[in-house]
Structure 1
């Protein structure tokens, strides 16, 4: 059973910091694997579709993107959870889409946020393999929202 961790809330400093990149030496480590397990368990417990390490008080560039229908997002598409280490958005479509967002760190508040409809992302797996992929629609929104967390930006700053 993985640990469910407390989630940082909007007024806390950790959420305003630029998270630090995960070092090569940390890839495939017990520490990083345990961090991701705890992030995943916490996200599932809170009905999230994504989570960033700063939300559980770890200022590292790690996010999980896990779109699936749940109480908070009943119409979300189903996808395998993806762990992204040191994610970078390489390209964003000029076309944007307005969509409702919420955040585990800003409970009980939702808002319409304009995000790029299609993005190209590069990230590392937990083992250090580099992946480049394109996301569109709701998964693209999640990636942009979670990468914002790594840069100290909350969705409410984009409304």
Structure 2
């Protein structure tokens, strides 16, 4: 059971967290969906992920994948022409839309359709400038001229 939570007091007292609050509010709104199509989310490694959606009854040309601004959108639209001869139609072919919120630096690497399963491979690619780097600590003996030298100089003179 989920209740609506008002983030307004937190928005007033924080700076730069707007996107976080938007994500929390949007997830609270969209979590009540019908769960179609079902999916698996797998972490394959430290920086690699895989989403597998069960899209039985759809062809690859009836599915569209769009990655844009930290969001992955998977939609499926089936041709609506009625086919004759069916006595019972139990395989769901209704249109669907699945949204996945992606973290920063997550990129879609590939998508594959096989045996009614759509697999999307994701990879985290952190730019070199954003990666942690080790900073060498200098000493007086090897400061390389970075520290001002006060030898032989007197401030009183």
Q: TM-score range by the shorter chain?
A: under 0.3
Structure holding more helix per residue: 1
Q: Greater relative contact order: 1 or 2 (C-alpha under 8 angstroms, separation 6 or more)?
A: 1
> What is the TM-score normalised by the length of structure 1?
0.26
Larger Rg: 2
